[in-house]
Structure 1
Amino acid sequence: MSRAASTVGHDRPRTARELGIMQGFPPPPEKRPTLENWDLPPFNRWSFQNIRSLFPTVGINRGDGPVFDLPQALRPFDDFRFEAPEGGEKTVAQCLSDTYTDAFLVLHKGKVLTGSYFNDMSPATPHLSQSVAKSVVGALIGILHADGVLDLGAPLGDLVPELKRCGYKDATLNHVLDMQSGVRFTEDYGIPGSDMTRIDIASGWRPARKGEIRPTIRDVILTLPKVRDHGVIFEYRSIETDVAAWVAERVTGASLAQLISDRIWSRIGAETEAFFTVDAAGTALADGGFNATLRDYARFALMMAEGGKVGDRQVVPETWVESLRRGEADKFGAPYTDLSPNGAYRRHWWIRDLGRGDFMARGVFGQLLYIDPDNRFVAVKLSTWPDYLIPTFGQYEMRMIEAIRDSL
């Protein structure tokens, strides 16, 4: 059991302000996040809403177009009950509190049914998305592919010659988008020496070890070997998104932030600028460093729910969005099937149920965009769980969201 699983049903988690995090002028040293602890409890309750106070970033311009309106048809859901995984019932309000929610929003047929903020978050507050960033990048790759810019089947070493020095030389974008390359990457969070920790250090999210020079994200990519044939099995590895982003930048000659601004953010009617954290070379952390406001995450998710369209404008190709609803179940096994027994992974999106075709963007510490195109239903949940992965919390959230969806 995760160390936080037992908190469900107990006292309400305290806010960053109540915990004293970054309170005072100046805050006491023990209440200031550091590179060692900024994303861990209790400090993440503050830091996920204040990333630009901690790290260098690059902005993603919203453009000068009008803001896409999200009309409201508000309904009270706080007392709405759903069946808990362990039996019995929970209310929506209890679930949101118990799972350390910072913000929650539900859209149905383009209208906001409920939207709530917690932990001093506001409509103007950008929130770290963690691996929801991967799905934003996946959508961008679909746009560039439809434009004829990217060949999904070309060896990556032909597109970025430096990649010939590592295990990605003969992998393709198809492989990395579905996370089916045969390249080694240990996705162990917070474990010294793991590949994930090496990326955290390279991206500036963790301190470099004493006496060592901090590498860049792409320095780490070039150290990764091939350990099996490509295309054999799905294995979740964050680095695959950073590889895809490198290819997109090299082929287009534009930065990831500029590409997302030009191709997505300026076209969905976003309300505010989004941003990525960047490493010492100015490289965006494509796999987890994306930040935006709750309502702008909702606009992005709504666009995907509407077949890639915003009004009459096609942003992401409809065929690409439809492809996200079909995956290879035979390559998708434990532990991923614990949350989605009939699921799969496709082009940087999680398929919740292959029969329904609903899909999700997910990030550690409880970030979630849930999309059910057939029901024109979207849910966005931003959180600061007290651990990277808490399976119990994930089960609660999905039970709650699907119960709301099925009630409409």
Structure 2
Amino acid sequence: MTPPDAPSSKSPAAPVPLPASSAPATPVQTAPVPAAPVPGAPILTAGEQGLMQGFPPPPDKIPGPSNWDMPPFNRWSFLNMRSLFPTADVERGTMPVRALPLALRDVNPITFTALSGQQQSVKDWLDTSYTDGFLVMSRGRVVHESYHNDMEPRTPHLSQSVAKSVVGTLAGVLHGEGILDLDTPLTVLIPELEKSGYAGATVRHVLDMTSGARFTEDYGTPGSDMTRIDVASGWRPPEPGEPVPTIRDVIVTLPQERPHGESFKYRSIETDVTAWALERAANQSLSSLLSDRIWSRIGAERDGYFTVDRAGTALADGGFNATMRDYARFGLMMLEGGAYNGTQIVPEEWVRASATGDHAAYGDPYTLTSPNGAYSRQWWIHDVARGDFMARGVFGQLIYLDPKTEFMAVKMSTWPDFLIHSYTVDMLSAVTAIRDAMSPA
């Protein structure tokens, strides 16, 4: 999941509270305080920290329900989500694996100006930004591929809000098939929303995150809507004695706080509402839809998977997992206009629309990261004039696409906090520096 592009209000060393139920006033316990990274200290892998090592591992080296996504445990958890949560497969099908041709170049010496004002090399950035994997492609060929923190080419990695862009792309496929009309009121597909804040909103509103529904995107805050979804999805434990809702139980309780279509406001729940609409429109689960319409058609090497709640509902806004190479294959399909192997998988018009947005609806705090940015159909647009766009997730997940230079960068990370503003800015500065070095003006 990706929060707004503002500097994080949480310090990496802040206590991580256990989530509350929907009643904000309920007292909560707090998890152990994660250790803040020491500037200049070596960044250790999960194995070097002894996480999940031994038979059995020591109790203090096992991630728990309230700390699995915080340091140091996320260095292991994001690469092993299936060991922690129930999941639903997104099958790769029987298509031959898409080859990723090599044209290796040394990107390590390339430099960029970090947010601090200092010059930094790509190598130093990779070494200090909690990298799990990094892959760069230029004009259809891999120029760099490296793995860190015990990750391997066959390791699925949690995508966080990269999943949103995957779900938004799936909506484009159903739209192209005539199954999904963007101007359909959500309540036509989902009558359960009639008394919620989504009454009067359309599919287009949730795709572009311009509905007027309230959703507090506050991570780790007791009683916030985000925490309620974490509890519902199984990503956080409930308060003792409190009932556990499903993801959709939470959705129907959200009120309206502003007019629909007014402006962009990032809210993870919009993707979950989108996914609900897709399932109703196609009468098929999100995981099987994604398999049938996209994952089985792009030459993926391995099955992907979603984490699911107790009702089997996929966490559409951040629960998708896949290998880095398969994220690259998905990105390549988008970079190539939605087509692969002679088949148009996603309508080309939808791909163009995902890279074209209304900058006027895109204000503070999002402009802190992308001053000329926008948001469209579950994709972030970095610069509306250039048309480069990206899928991004908290803790440092990225698929960056630049059609102008046929360039793509994929990064999997385990940052020590949900959002670290300088890390986000430096990540985009690094990949655009590599892009420019691959295709000098």
Under TM normalisation by the shorter chain, which class is it? over 0.9
Partner of 1:25: 55
Q: 2:155 is matched by which residue type in structure 1?
A: T
Equivalent position SS for 1:116: strand
Deviates further, 394-403 or 5-14? 5-14
Partner of 1:210: 240
Q: Is 1:223 aligned with 2:239?
A: no
- TM-score, normalised on structure 1? 0.98
In structure 1, stretches of 5+ residues that fail to align are none
**Which of 292, 308, 317 is equivalent to 2:322?**
292
Mapped to 1, the partners of 2:191 and 2:118 lie a distance apart of 57
Partner of 1:38: 68
Partner of 2:200: 170
**Which of 180, 198, 217 is equivalent to 2:228?**
198
**Which of 204, 208, 211 is equivalent to 1:181?**
211
Partner of 1:55: 85
Partner of 1:339: 369
* Conserved 8 A contact 1:183-1:228: yes
* Conserved 8 A contact 1:342-1:352: yes
Mapped to 2, the partners of 1:227 and 1:85 lie a distance apart of 35
Equivalent position SS for 1:165: coil
Deviates further, 266-275 or 154-163? 154-163
Equivalent position SS for 1:276: strand
Identity, in percent, stands at: 61
* Conserved 8 A contact 2:37-2:416: no
Mapped to 2, the partners of 1:348 and 1:190 lie a distance apart of 23
Q: 2:384 is matched by which residue type in structure 1?
A: L
TM superposition shift of 1:250? 1.0
TM superposition shift of 1:4? 5.2
Equivalent position SS for 2:194: helix
Deviations 1:98-139 (A, max 9, x none): 110000000111100000000010000000000000000000
Q: 2:131 is matched by which residue type in structure 1?
A: T
Equivalent position SS for 2:67: coil
**Which of 251, 259, 267 is equivalent to 1:237?**
267
**Which of 115, 121, 131 is equivalent to 1:101?**
131
The within-5 A match list for 1:117-132 is: 117-132=147-162
Partner of 1:81: 111
Q: Is 1:330 aligned with 2:364?
A: no
In structure 2, stretches of 5+ residues that fail to align are 1-6, 14-35
Q: Is 1:302 aligned with 2:296?
A: no
**Which of 40, 47, 55 is equivalent to 1:10?**
40
- TM-score, normalised on structure 2? 0.91
Partner of 2:169: 139
* Conserved 8 A contact 1:76-1:114: yes
* Conserved 8 A contact 2:251-2:269: yes
TM superposition shift of 1:275? 0.1
Partner of 1:378: 408
Q: 1:344 is matched by which residue type in structure 2?
A: A
* Conserved 8 A contact 1:8-1:99: no
Moved over 4 A (4+): 4-9
Equivalent position SS for 2:144: strand
TM superposition shift of 1:7? 5.5
Mapped to 2, the partners of 1:45 and 1:247 lie a distance apart of 34
Q: 2:285 is matched by which residue type in structure 1?
A: S
Equivalent position SS for 2:151: coil
Q: 1:336 is matched by which residue type in structure 2?
A: Y
TM superposition shift of 1:86? 2.2
TM superposition shift of 1:9? 6.4
Partner of 2:342: 312
TM superposition shift of 1:212? 0.8
Mapped to 1, the partners of 2:367 and 2:243 lie a distance apart of 39
Deviations 1:132-177 (A, max 9, x none): 0000000000010010001110110011111112111210111001
Q: 1:18 is matched by which residue type in structure 2?
A: E
Mapped to 2, the partners of 1:111 and 1:102 lie a distance apart of 21
Partner of 1:155: 185
Deviations 1:35-73 (A, max 9, x none): 100000100000000000000000000000100110000
